Amino acid sequence: MAADLNHAGGRMSSIAPGRIVIYTLLVLVALYYLAPLYVMLTTSVKTLDQIREGNLLDFPLAPSTAAWAKAWSGACTGVSCEGLAPYFWNSVKMVIPAVLISSLIGSVNGYVLAHWRFPGHNVVFTALMVGCFIPFQVVILPMARLLGMADLANTTTGLVLVHIIYGIAFTTLFFRNYYVTVPDELVNAARIDGAGFFTIYRRIIFPLSLPIFMVCFIWQFTQIWNDFLFGVVFGGAEAQPVTVALNNLVNTSTGVTEYNVNMAAAIIAALPTLVIYLIAGKYFVRGLTAGAVKG
């Protein structure tokens, strides 16, 4: 017994230094990646005098939320304000319908490509995969032509349509790869029992889809919220998303660079995606791995 205890103690003493090294490295890496966020947060509540005279890593001496208020509401001159608030809500109005619609269409497409064989289904799937690798710049002119014909240019509705069309290829790929793990026998049994296309989808496929829906929601939300190119090209003065407004705010020359306002604005623009990942990040990983193996 004593020998076993000595052996166990020797093993723990030999493992402990390795664990210490691993945890130390993890802490250092975490600090390295969190340092920019710390700088942004502290700078956003500092005064301009402390920013000019101090160090980036200095803790705020007199924290203030004035820069946050200015970044959100703006400094009004005459009848115009330069805050992010209206553009933030433009992004909200754009991202929610675009994410929901593109994910739902991708779900139905993935279901068809995974369990309903029709002539040319492989060609359709290949075309959709190619669509995942088409750069944004390639579709700008066709999209502009389409929006002009539909009288949706420079509108939030037009931006929603653009992101739905561009996102369908990705959502279809995600759902198709997930649905091929659903046994064909389950779908065939439902067909034998008289279930049709939408009945099978509603009662069998859809209830199994929560993990991959989370993947698509997070993926599409991140891509659409962070998009700048489509927003600056297709968004009019009243429909620009928050990323375009952030660029305009940071690059507006007023004689004095207000670093605290710029940092606060950047955090406001990035906050929704950060919250989404903090809340649903584990579901994103689960959804990606759920369809990795068939059987």
Tens of pLDDT, residues 24-34: 999 999 999 99
Name which CATH class applies to 85-290. Answer: mainly alpha
Is 292 within 8 Å of 96 (Cβ atoms)?
no
Is 277 within 8 Å of 218 (Cβ atoms)?
yes
pLDDT over threshold 80, residue 85: yes
Q: From CA 187, how far away is CA 209, in angstroms rounded?
A: 15
Question: How much of the chain, in percent, has pLDDT values that exceed 90?
Answer: 34
Q: Token digits for 252? A: 């507006």
Tens of pLDDT, residues 177-206: 899 888 888 888 988 888 888 899 999 899
- Can you give the pLDDT at residue 295? 43
Q: Token digits for 188? A: 């065939």
Q: Token digits for 170? A: 């990705």
pLDDT: which is higher, 294 or 58: 58
Q: From CA 36, how far away is CA 269, in angstroms rounded?
A: 15
Q: Token digits for 295? A: 């059987």
> Which range has the top average pLDDT, 6-10, 184-188, 287-291?
184-188
End-to-end Cα distance, the chain: 46
Q: From CA 241, how far away is CA 160, in angstroms rounded?
A: 11
Query: 280: pLDDT confidence band, cut at 50, 70 and 90?
Result: confident
Q: Token digits for 104? A: 């739902």
Tens of pLDDT, residues 14-25: 557 778 889 899
- Can you give the pLDDT at residue 79? 37
Q: Report long-range pairs for 251-258 (Cβ below 8 Å, ≥24 apart).
A: 252/82, 256/48, 258/48, 258/67, 258/70
Tens of pLDDT, residues 116-155: 878 887 888 888 888 888 888 888 888 899 899 989 888 9
Question: For the chain, what's the residue count?
Answer: 295
Query: 57: pLDDT confidence band, cut at 50, 70 and 90?
Result: confident
- Can you give the pLDDT at residue 133? 85
Tens of pLDDT, residues 213-222: 988 999 999 9
By three-state DSSP, how is residue 256 classified? coil
What are the start and end residues of each CATH 1.10.3720.10 domain in the chain?
85-290
- Can you give the pLDDT at residue 76? 47
Tens of pLDDT, residues 151-178: 988 899 999 999 999 999 999 999 998 9
